[in-house]
Amino acid sequence: MYRIAVIPGDGTGPEQIGEALKVLEAAGEKFNLSFETTHYDLGGERYLKTGELLPDSVFDELKECQAILLGAIGHPDVKPGILERGLLLRLRFELDLYINLRPVKLYPGVASPLKNKRPEDIDFVVVRENTEGLYTGAGGFFKKGSPDEVAIQESINTRRGVERCLRYAFDYCQGKRNRRQLTLCGKTNVLTYAFDLWERAFQEMSLDYPGVKTDYAHVDAICMWMIKNPEWFDVIVTDNMFGDIITDLGAMIQGGMGIAAGANLHPGKTSMFEPIGGSAPKYTGLNKINPLAAICASAMMLDYLGEEEAAQSVEAAVATVCHRHLAGLNAGEMGHTTAEVGDLVTRYL
């Protein structure tokens, strides 16, 4: 019995999560697992009604669950930054979810915008540090609003934070991948403090992993090669900001936000799983949004819970649906409704 907190969230989040839960239920039946789910109405609507983002009592309940399944956060009537900082980033920081794991995988049948690239060419994983860097909120204004105004946004990189992220990436690369090639993505030519630390820690740690081939590339070059030669990559490890940016690029080359999922992890503790796209408010209630990203997020959750066979079955069912049934991945172009896509995955499962 697994205790799962469900935060459907804003916009199309609830529609996506509805299908993910449908698939989880089916996986539960097939593999004899049971899920005790509790829904939380966190998000833009609740904030607009009550001013609450993440009450402490709710946070305490979330901590008691093994996993959180999150739909999407983002509301057109809420100023940018409030929900992001008050909810999504607060969960990542306070649950200390120091890994953001984002697979970039082109499923058979899915059209990549990259000409001549096949599924075997686009299959890598980004390990994004998720609790430090430019995301801590460190910095501030001086003389705000005046012509002499100064804005400082600091990137915090601790030896401990960097090392635990690298450790996860090395272990993941060694344990879960066949090619066992780990690329550090940085900017050592300009960010000479932050990525100096990253690079030294990376090189030192590599001595513990003789079976992992290591490699370094600057973030701008990585953007170029992700387009030109995505087949070069197996696992990429990077800081929070660069990880944010390159995983949107990754989502595009794997066919779009409709299929891109991510896991926010603290191994051994409450972890959170989400489709990486936003709430897509203009599609709300139309039954047009692609639920596959949320379904893939639930597969990542199963894997995290130790139910690897169930996770693989869900992923295989997703791959089959992409291959046999979907015209496109984006909202409104699938050739099927949101609910039909969930039903198809369940059927193949």
| From the list ligand IPM, Mn ion, none, partner contacted by residue 272 (C-beta under 5 to 8 A by kind) | none
**Which residue type does 45 have?**
E
Closest distance to ligand IPM from the beta carbon of 220 (Å): 19
| Per CB under 5 A, 315 contacts Mn ion | no
3-state secondary structure string across 16-60: HHHHHHHHHHHHHHHHCCCEEEEECCCCHHHHHHHCCCCCHHHHH
Identify whether 283 is a catalytic site residue.
no
Strands 235-238 and 123-129: parallel
Find the angle CA(271)-CA(274)-CA(280) to the nearest 5 degrees.
155
| From the list ligand IPM, Mn ion, none, partner contacted by residue 333 (C-beta under 5 to 8 A by kind) | none
**CB nearer to ligand IPM: pick between 271 and 346:** 271
Identify whether 215 is a catalytic site residue.
no
| Per CB under 5 A, 274 contacts Mn ion | no
Catalytic residue among 244, 283, 288, 304: 244
Closest distance to Mn ion from the beta carbon of 220 (Å): 18
Q: Which region holds residue 106: left if phi is over 0, alpha if psi is between -120 and 50, else beta?
A: beta
| Per CB under 5 A, 244 contacts Mn ion | yes
| Per CB under 5 A, 239 contacts Mn ion | no
Identify whether 220 is a catalytic site residue.
yes
Residues that bind ligand IPM (CB under 6 A): 84, 88-89, 244, 276
Q: With CA atoms as reference, report the closest residue to 118 among 261, 323, 343, 345.
A: 323
Identify whether 248 is a catalytic site residue.
yes
Catalytic residue among 63, 143, 144, 248: 248
Q: Could you give the CA distance from residue 209 to residue 230 in angstroms, rounded to a whole number?
A: 24
Q: Per DSSP, which regions of 106-240 are E strands?
A: 123-129, 139-142, 150-153, 181-186, 213-218, 235-238
**CB nearer to Mn ion: pick between 91 and 212:** 91
Closest distance to Mn ion from the beta carbon of 135 (Å): 11
Residues that bind Mn ion (CB under 5 A): 244
Catalytic residues: 135, 187, 220, 244, 248
